[in-house]
Structure 1
Amino acid sequence: MTRVLVCVHPARGHTGPTKPIVEALVTAGHEVTVVTGARYRETFEKLGATVDVLPPEADFDETDLDGSVPGRAGLSGLKLARFELTHFVRAMPAQLSVVDRHEADVVLCDPLFMAGLALVLREHRPRVLTLGFLPFLPPVPTGPPGHPVRAALLETLAPWLLAPAQREAGKLLGGDPGMPFTDWPLRSDGVLQMTCRGFEYPRAGVPLHFIGPTTRSRADEHPLPPWWADLDGGRPVVHVTQGTVANDDLGRLVEPAIDALAGEDVLVVATTCGTPVRPGPLPGNVRVADFLPYDELLPRCAAMVSNGGYGGVNHALRYGVPLVVVGASEDKREVAARVAWSGAGIGHARASASPRTLRRAVRKVLADPRYRHRARELAAEMAAGPAMDEVVELITG
């Protein structure tokens, strides 16, 4: 039996892909303790894990970030990114106060859970593996190989973006960590990257284990709506989503996509996570739900329009669905770049797009077989990846 400590931020995009790994570890007879926020205590306890909840100063509510993270309200763009990076680092002592209560053989650590930085710098420590449910080495934008102009711009921007958080890391650690704080996964013992090799830029310096997307989304979690049979009506199905969190303003992507595709010979299926679409009748080719089971929906889709959540994009690629991605917050700019670089779709690194832009992009993805072919190649690569029992062996072996 291996003692596994799992450290994960209390956000759906982080806990969702972690749950199947925790469940598999528990089923295999290992001792699993999860360190996360209060909102996800029951989620992991139901899987048979022990849960140790983060103290309030390191916890937050992803459904009310401005209310649960002091100082966040009113910020946007790069100023918001700068603030959030510093906030992540400041949570390190509170996270360590929980982590250090537990003896572990292996630590699985969220890349934004900054206790990981402190752990990898210790002379005597357990194995530390990074949970790769974000583009590798987020949140610093890196860009695809062979784009020197973009690389130069990012090289200029990165010091300004990272400086406050880097200073905070040095203060909390009692000295310069000797690396950018975001690079701590490079000092870990490996990364469980939840995609396939064809969707990530070539890297060196740390073992990258491509385990494919782990998130599951079935009908027993999200019931099918009464209009579900419409998906079998012969028209191409285009799914539209702003992810699980960024649904406060559907005018960024969902509503422009509905306008863009209203006159097209497709069936638009949008999910909103409970946010109402603007008042008024919907076009006849549009269906809307709060949540839908992706493992039922995506095999029926001809394309997906997304704001660039890494998990959702890779879930689509698991089923060979080509993509149109429009996103610029958090790691979404990086996801949009990877979609374009991999050839599996069209990526726009911006906060929103006009109906005209979206219409042209969806038409192109549906009409050009190269996008579907490349998405199917990535799906085959994911299917050939390790099974969950092999992932457990990788963690505990």
Structure 2
Amino acid sequence: MLSPRALDYPGRRFPAHLRHVGPRLDDPAWAGELELPEGEAPLVLAGLSSSFMNQRTQLQRIAEALGTLPVRGLLTTGPAVDPATVRAPGNVLVTAAAPHNIALRHAAATITHAGHGTAVKSLAAGVPLVCVPLGRDQTAVARHVELAGAGITVSRNASPRTIARAVDRVLHQPSYRREARRLAAEIAAETATDRAVAELEALAGRATGRAEGALRCDPAEPSGPSPTLSN
């Protein structure tokens, strides 16, 4: 399973054949170069789905929310929304894409749709989240983040004021960053080695062993010339 064990329900039991091998944290090739908004205020990274989920309104509300806070905002729209359609206040930089892994090194909080990739990357960096799930599995991911104590969930219909309050809370209530850092340590331990490769190699080895065993059990081919049939 390409998901951190630490993000699952505490005490959940899994089938014996299931393995947690940790997440893949690479940014997509189209993420481009990082450009940060100017200033020294805390950075809030914001981004919703990279696919179309009718999210332009939510992106606009996020931009407006960040405009009311003493922060710098880096808002990535993804390929589905033209950055020019989002009206940004002076403290918010809107761009189509950015390498989140690098941006998260500078971030104090993330606003996300709770897509698995962005959520796990943020937690791997020890950055708490404000989740704005739009659909699919995102409500479940947001729930896991909340249960872990590493973030807050607001409705997709949340007003800029509600979003701003949630951001302010994760920035100033230490427990959110503490729990995000706890998860970061667990994810780091889980991804210290490429367990996916190790598990696949072990599986291939077991399959090869079974195949060789089956061959040894097969009766030997008859030797010598084949018998002929006469009329």
Give TM-score scaled by structure 2 length.
Answer: 0.78
Q: Quote the residue 1:358 is aligned against.
A: 163
Query: Aligned in 2, Cα 1:230/1:241: closer, same or farther, shift over 3 Å?
Result: closer
Residue 215 of structure 1: how far off its partner (Å): 3.1
SS at match of 2:74: strand
The one-letter amino acid of 2:22's match is G
The one-letter amino acid of 1:303's match is A
Listed one character per residue, the Cα deviations across residues 322-343 of structure 1 (whole Å, up to 9, x for unaligned) are 0000115111111111111010
What is the correspondence of 1:304-323 to structure 2 with a 5 Å cutoff? 304-323=110-129
Matched, 1:203 2:203: no
- Is the 2:37–2:93 contact (alpha carbons within 8 Å) kept by the matching residues of 1? no
SS at match of 1:361: helix
What is the correspondence of 1:24-103 to structure 2 with a 5 Å cutoff? none
Matched, 1:237 2:43: yes
Q: Alignment partner for residue 273 of structure 1, among 63, 78, 99? A: 78
Q: Alignment partner for residue 179 of structure 2, among 374, 378, 387? A: 374
CA distance in 2: counterparts of 1:205 and 1:224, whole angstroms: 40
Q: Provide the aligned C-alpha RMSD in A.
A: 2.1
CA distance in 1: counterparts of 2:87 and 2:134, whole angstroms: 30
SS at match of 1:209: coil
Q: Alignment partner for residue 292 of structure 1, among 74, 85, 98? A: 98
Residue 372 of structure 1: how far off its partner (Å): 0.5
Q: Quote the residue 1:115 is aligned against.
A: none
- Is the 1:242–1:250 contact (alpha carbons within 8 Å) kept by the matching residues of 2? no
Residue 391 of structure 1: how far off its partner (Å): 2.3
Query: Aligned in 2, Cα 1:352/1:374: closer, same or farther, shift over 3 Å?
Result: same
Task: Count residues with an aligned counterpart.
Answer: 199
Query: Aligned in 2, Cα 1:281/1:338: closer, same or farther, shift over 3 Å?
Result: closer
Give TM-score scaled by structure 1 length.
Answer: 0.47
Q: Quote the residue 2:33 is aligned against.
A: 224
Percent of residue pairs bearing the same amino acid type: 32
Residue 242 of structure 1: how far off its partner (Å): 1.0
- Is the 1:238–1:268 contact (alpha carbons within 8 Å) kept by the matching residues of 2? yes
CA distance in 2: counterparts of 1:264 and 1:386, whole angstroms: 35
Listed one character per residue, the Cα deviations across residues 154-188 of structure 1 (whole Å, up to 9, x for unaligned) are xxxxxxxxxxxxxxxxxxxxxxxxxxxxxxxxxxx
Listed one character per residue, the Cα deviations across residues 17-73 of structure 1 (whole Å, up to 9, x for unaligned) are xxxxxxxxxxxxxxxxxxxxxxxxxxxxxxxxxxxxxxxxxxxxxxxxxxxxxxxxx
The one-letter amino acid of 1:393's match is A
Residue 278 of structure 1: how far off its partner (Å): 6.4
- Is the 1:241–1:272 contact (alpha carbons within 8 Å) kept by the matching residues of 2? yes
The one-letter amino acid of 1:223's match is G
CA distance in 2: counterparts of 1:273 and 1:326, whole angstroms: 16
Q: Alignment partner for residue 256 of structure 1, among 50, 58, 61? A: 61
SS at match of 1:384: helix
Residue 388 of structure 1: how far off its partner (Å): 4.6
- Is the 2:64–2:88 contact (alpha carbons within 8 Å) kept by the matching residues of 1? no
Listed one character per residue, the Cα deviations across residues 252-273 of structure 1 (whole Å, up to 9, x for unaligned) are x211111112121101111111
Residue 210 of structure 1: how far off its partner (Å): 2.8
Between Structure 1 and Structure 2, whose CA radius of gyration is higher?
Answer: 2
The one-letter amino acid of 1:230's match is P
CA distance in 2: counterparts of 1:280 and 1:379, whole angstroms: 32
Higher relative contact order (CA 8 A, sep 6+): 2
CA distance in 2: counterparts of 1:279 and 1:243, whole angstroms: 16
- Unaligned residue ranges in structure 1 (runs of 5+): 1-191
CA distance in 2: counterparts of 1:278 and 1:333, whole angstroms: 28
